A and B are shown apart, each in its own frame.
Chain A
Amino acid sequence: MRNEIMGQYFVTVPVLCQQCEIPMCKEVCPTEAVYQDSETGASLVDEERCIGCRMCVISCPLGAIEVDPVKHTAFKCDLCGGDPECVKICLAEALTYVDKDKVGFTGRREALKKLSDRLALVAGLPTEAVQNRGGEVK
């Protein structure tokens, strides 16, 4: 999703399906085309059942489900069966795929890294990023 204003900053943020535990798209579907995968927990669309009524599109708070203009059935992030393509292609590592149970742990780890970098700056030591690049502290 891009919010672009030329001549000023602009922000590009991926807005993805959160794979809700109680998905609105599933709740509103009149043909029960949306179901949850037992393995990955992803909400999926059964294309055979979908009638393209767009109820799910209207009700999703994030706009994470759309109707395919060619097939006329709903489609959404299916986590690529547990190996998401978007993560593999994200060079900036803005997207990562982590286990649900480890989300909190990963978050703490990131926060710690930032904190240690700040402390390193204060102490005049190389930050992790600088270390990785082999650069000198100025």
Chain B
Amino acid sequence: MTYGYAGSILRIDLTDESVSRTPTSEYARDLLGGRAINAKLMFEESEAGVSAFDPGNPVIIGAGLLVGSGVMGAVRHEITTRSPEQVPEGFGNVGSGGTFGPEMKYAGYDHIVIKGKAKKPTYIHIENDEISFKDASALWGNGTFETNRLIREELGDPEVAILAIGQAGERLVRVATIEHEYRSGTALGAVWGSKNLKAVVVRGTKGIKVHDAQRILELNQQMIRGIEKKLKGYIEWCKANGRDCLPYPKYALGMDALDEYLVQQEKAFTGYFKGIEWADLEKTRAIPYLKKRMVRQTGCCPLSCIGLMKVPGVGTSVMRCDPFWWPWQLYLTDLDKSFEATRLCSDYGMDNQDLVTPISWLMQLYEDGIITADDTDGVPMEWGNGDALIHVIHSVANRKGFGDALADGVLTLAEKLGPEAKALLIHRRGIVPNCDEFRNQAGVVLGTSVDTTCGRENWYGDVVWDKHLKETGRESDLEEAYAHARKTYGTEKAVIPWEYEGKVRGVMEAEYFERISDIFGRCFFVPKYAGHTGPIELDACKAVTGIDFTEDQLNAFAEKALTLEKAYNVREGFARNDEEVGEFWFKEPIPDGPHKGKVLDRAKFEKMKDEYYKLRGWDTETSWPERETYERLGLKDVASSLQKLGRLPKTKKQT
């Protein structure tokens, strides 16, 4: 297996600045690549109970199998480490697109494992075979924008790909992220801060061998034509509905769809988990704002999903996914403040979603009179107060005033503010949800609760919103979806969001889909927008590696990745009661809108979970995978090491 792989796994120890390399082929045969190998390395390289800030906690950066091959959208790297944000800490994984994945493969590495702790602030510079540990004392204390600039200047190479943390990561703020060219995601940045690791910089010039370059070009053409078709459809839809679409239609396509979807389907909240009805909602819609502020679209494939904006007096940056929903959660009508806040988050290196819900919570507490302005350094947490938003971001990133407690996690702040405040906090293992509605989506709830990375939401998307389709005159799509559901899941309830039946299979499919994308390092928006599903992945894999996989084989790799992630959490002592979404969703019905009154049913939910565990081959009582499941997936060594710790379910004979 030489095609597609860069060839080696790089191991770096920051404590003694040593470096070693092993061939990727040791893992590639069993696990293919990307997230699956990451999960295996994570399990092997760490010991049970090692905390996130311990030097023994490894950081694993892995580029997917197709990355660097030229397949459109195959640009993603995955970073795996123990999440400092979860309470208790568990498996953490974050992926992003950009240039880092391809560059590390061109430098010759499929995976990079970083362990230990540097004595002083350090950044790692990888240029093909040369690995150097550079002094980052001058970079320490700088935001990610400035850090990027300084590193490029110091190395005299503008082409390097940089992963860096900002001030938040340095100060071990739990919601700190690892930033890469405006991209971030799940908060793992504090782990880097604990290692005195400011950045990892990579530049490679070696290239990747592929099996059939001509075929890759053909596939790219196919995808481009698919996207073109979708775009035309969107523009026509805009015309037909009298809507003005952006001069950046690709970006608009995404934003418009999201915006519409969330509002029309009542999939979003306003305020602190209140209903969808808010008088000023129209003032905060994405498209008019984008028209005013967006200057160009950019990204790492022709979809160009990053909209670059410029706001006078604030600067240039991007709106990362959620800031269009911030205003809803904070009753904020000044979208420029929202932009300013997200720009600060990019610069400090913090996750948006992890901050906005706590701020919304503080505003609710303020309204209820549980806290006063004195609890938040004299800044009143009034609804719609943009300055309060900015204040919280500064104080968390710099650990100033009350922000110090919030920097240690929202639960720490809740403890400090007292039991009344804590009672109002909706969270799951210390992670707050964003403004996505759960109560009318049984599939998403199941997917979220069993997610190995304690993600905010599962990408369970195989549902149809009948109201939306009927309103837009697409009843035929509805019938098609029902037919598809009957065929695939045996019941059309599987695609009706709030029904519980037939959902388990769909969740499993979604988990496979996500992991296959991450194993290949391929953005899953590309096949979605290009109108392709499974087969194009197989074709792309064939073109790059020359190996013909079947869909079932790919699913098996995805299952291995999932089981390894699960095994990590099992080793840390997680059990069934840790796989929850929170009591709130079962108690409070949706207050208004088309889905008014819907609430989750505990008994049906637990039944659904039982079914899920059974289908996965996991014990229903503890949620731990059975020995046979590990053995079926060729993970005997994992089963043995878990047995030593007593983390295998009891065999049926004993019970």
Is B truly associated with A?
A: yes
User: Which residues of chain A have a CB within 8 Å of any CB of chain B?
Assistant: 2-10, 12, 68-70, 85, 88-92, 129, 132-136
Measured between C-beta atoms, what is the minimum distance from B192 to chain A in Å? 18
Measured between C-beta atoms, what is the minimum distance from B244 to chain A in Å? 4
Q: Which of B190-206 contact A (CB under 8 A)?
A: 205-206
CA distance A2 to B221 in the complex (A): 23
The answer to whether the Cβ of B295 comes within 8 Å of any Cβ in the partner chain is yes
User: Which residues of chain B have a CB within 8 Å of any CB of chain A?
Assistant: 72, 144-146, 148-149, 158-159, 181-182, 205-207, 209, 217, 220-221, 224, 227-228, 231, 235, 238-239, 242, 244-245, 247, 250, 295-296, 298, 302, 304, 308, 310, 315-317, 343, 346-347
Among candidates B72, B238, B250, B317, residue contacting A133 with C-beta atoms closer than 8 Å: B238
Beyond A69-B207, A89-B221, A129-B247, whether A9 also contacts B308 by CB under 8 A is: yes
Among candidates A6, A129, A134, A136, residue contacting B182 with C-beta atoms closer than 8 Å: A6
Within 8 Å CB of A129, what residues of B? 247
In the complex, number of A-B residue pairs with CB atoms less than 8 Å apart: 72
CA distance A69 to B205 in the complex (A): 7
The chain B residue sitting closest to A89, CB to CB, is B224
Within 8 Å CB of B207, what residues of A? 68-70
Within 8 Å CB of B231, what residues of A? 91
Among candidates A5, A12, A133, residue contacting B235 with C-beta atoms closer than 8 Å: A133
Are the CB atoms of A9 and B244 closer together than 8 Å?
no
CA distance A92 to B301 in the complex (A): 12
Are the CB atoms of B302 and A89 closer together than 8 Å?
yes
Are the CB atoms of A7 and B317 closer together than 8 Å?
yes
The chain B residue sitting closest to A130, CB to CB, is B244
CA distance A134 to B249 in the complex (A): 13
The chain A residue sitting closest to B210, CB to CB, is A70
Label chain A's interface by main secondary structure: loop
9 more A-B contacts (CB under 8 A) besides A85-B217, A85-B220, A91-B227? A2-B159, A7-B317, A9-B308, A12-B298, A70-B209, A91-B302, A92-B302, A133-B245, A134-B239
Q: 8 closest Cβ contacts across the A-B interface?
A: A134-B239, A7-B145, A69-B207, A6-B145, A135-B244, A91-B302, A69-B206, A6-B148
Within 8 Å CB of B228, what residues of A? 91
Are the CB atoms of B244 and A133 closer together than 8 Å?
yes
Within 8 Å CB of A69, what residues of B? 205-207
Beyond A6-B182, A69-B207, whether A134 also contacts B238 by CB under 8 A is: yes
CA distance A132 to B235 in the complex (A): 9
Are the CB atoms of A89 and B181 closer together than 8 Å?
no
Q: What are 16 sample pairs from A and B whose C-beta atoms fall under 8 A apart?
A: A3-B158, A5-B149, A6-B148, A6-B346, A7-B343, A12-B298, A69-B205, A70-B209, A85-B220, A88-B221, A89-B224, A91-B224, A91-B228, A92-B302, A134-B235, A135-B244
